[in-house]
Amino acid sequence: MKKTNITNYKKESWIGLLYITPWIIGFLVFTMYPIVASFYLSFTDYDLLNAPIMVGIDNFKKIFGDKEFLKALGVTGKYVFIVVPLKLAFSLFVAFILNMSLKGINFFRTAYYIPSILGSNVAIAILWKFIFSTDGLVNQVLAVMNIAPVSWFGQPTPALFTIALLRVWEFGSTMVIFLAALKEVPGDLYEAASVDGSNKFRNFFNITIPIITPVIFFNFIMQLIHAFQEFNAPYLVTSGGPMKGTYLLPMLIYDHTFKYYNMGYASAMSWILFIIIMTFTLITFRSSKYWVFYNDNGGES
C-alpha cells in the first residue's frame, strides 16, 4: 500500500515536471544562458564580431574610473530615489480611494488600471512629448495659473522628473496589489478603533499601514528593481538628454553593447548594476524585521 503511494507520487512529479518543461526550457535558454554568457563576457574584450579576448578584471577596474559610468550611476540613483517612493505613495493613495464602496467602483478600478496596460511604448512616448513640450498641456495649465512655463525636456532635472512621472503614471499593478491588501484588513479593527474615538487619519496610519506592511515591502522591492532597470522611457522620450540628465545606467549599457561594440565592458557594467540592485534588496530584507509585520501567528512578529 505504502509502496504504490510512493510510485504514484513519483509518477505525478514527473508529470508535473513535464507541465513546466516549457518554462524550464525558456528559463535555461533565455535567462540562464545569457547570465552565464554575460558573466563570462564581463571578463573579456568582445566586439560582437571577433572572438572574445580574455582580459581578466580589466573591465571592472576601468568602470570605477569611467566618468560616464559614474555620472549615469548618479542619475540612476536620483531616478530611483524619485520614482520608487512617488509611485508607492501614489498607488497606495489610489488603492485607498478605490477601496471605498462607491457606486460604479468597478468602472473606476478598471479605468485606473488602463495606463498600465498601455505600457511605456512608442505611442506613450509621443504622448509624453506632447504633454510636456514647450506649448504642451502642462505648460498651458501652468500659464492659466500664471506660472512661468517650465523647460521640461530642456533642463536635466525637469527632464528626469518627466521620465519618472511616466513610470509613476503606470501605477496599475502596484495599485492592484495594494487594493487586494486593503481589502484583507479586517473591518472589526476599524470598528474597535472608532469606538475608542480614533479618526480616519489615525486609522490609516495606525491600523491600515502596519497591516499591509508585507505588501508595501513586496511592492517596494519590485519597484526598486524595476527602477534600476529603467530603459524604455529615457530611450524613447529623451534619448538620455539633455546633458545626459536622463542617461540611466541601462542606456549606457545598451550604447556600449550596440553602438560602441564593447560587449565585454557592457557585461561588466551589467554585473555591477546587478550587485547594486542585490545590495539594496538585501538591505531592505535585513531592515524588514524592524518594520514589516506578519499577523499569521496572532500578532506582530
Partner 1 sequence: MKKVLAMSLATCLLASSMVGCAGNKPDPAAETKSAEPAVQAEEPKKEEAPEEVELRISWWGGDDRHVPTLDAIKKFEELNPHIKVKSEYGGWDGHTEKINTQIAGNTATDIIQVNYDWLNRLSREGNGFYDLEKLSETIKLDNYTEGDLAFGRRNGILNAIPVSTTGRSIFYNKTTFDKFGAALPTTWDELLASAEKFSEKGYYPFDLDNGAGFTTWYMVLAYMQQKTGRNYINEDGTLGFTEADIKEGLEFYKLLEDKKVIRTVEERTNEAGTTPLYQTPSWIDGRVAGVLEWGSSVGKYEQPLVEKGQELVLGELPILTDAKMTGWFVKPSLMFAINKDTKYPEESAKLLDFLLNDPEAAVILGTSRGIPSSKAAVEALKSADMLKGIAFDATQQILGANPTLISPFTENAKLKEIYTRTVENVSYGKGTIEEIAKTMHAELTAELANLTK
Q: What residue ranges bind partner 1 (CB under 8 A)?
A: 29-35, 37-38, 48-49, 125-126, 128-130, 132-135, 151-155, 214, 217-218, 221-222, 225-226, 228-229, 236-239, 241-244, 250, 253-255, 257-261, 266-267, 270-271, 273-274, 277-278, 281, 285, 294, 296, 301
Q: Quick one: 93 or 294, whose CB is closer to partner 1?
A: 294
Amino acid letter, residue 64? F
Contacts of 52 (CB under 8 A, 6+ apart): 40, 41, 44, 45, 46, 263, 264
By C-beta, is 198 or 281 nearer to partner 1?
Answer: 281
φ and ψ of 254, to 5 deg: -60, -45
Closest separation in Å from C-beta 236 to partner 1: 7
> For partner 1, which is the closer residue by CB, 197 or 298?
298
**Cβ 6 to partner 1 shortest distance, Å:** 26
**Residue 74 or 154: which CB sits closer to partner 1?**
154
Of 151 and 198, which CB lies nearer to partner 1 in the complex structure?
Answer: 151
Query: What single-letter DSSP state applies at residue 242?
Result: S
Give CA–CA dist 79/4, Å, rounded: 58
- In degrees and rounded to multiples of 5, residue 53 shows phi and psi of -110, 130
* CB 56 to partner 1: min, Å: 20
Closest approach of Cβ 294 to partner 1, in Å? 5
DSSP letter assigned to residue 230: -
Shortest gap between Cβ of 301 and partner 1 (angstroms)? 7
Q: Helix, strand or coil for residue 54? A: strand
With CA atoms as reference, report the closest residue to 216 among 253, 254, 185, 258. 185
Q: Evaluate the omega torsion of the peptide bond into residue 158 and state whether it is cis, within 30 degrees of 0.
A: no
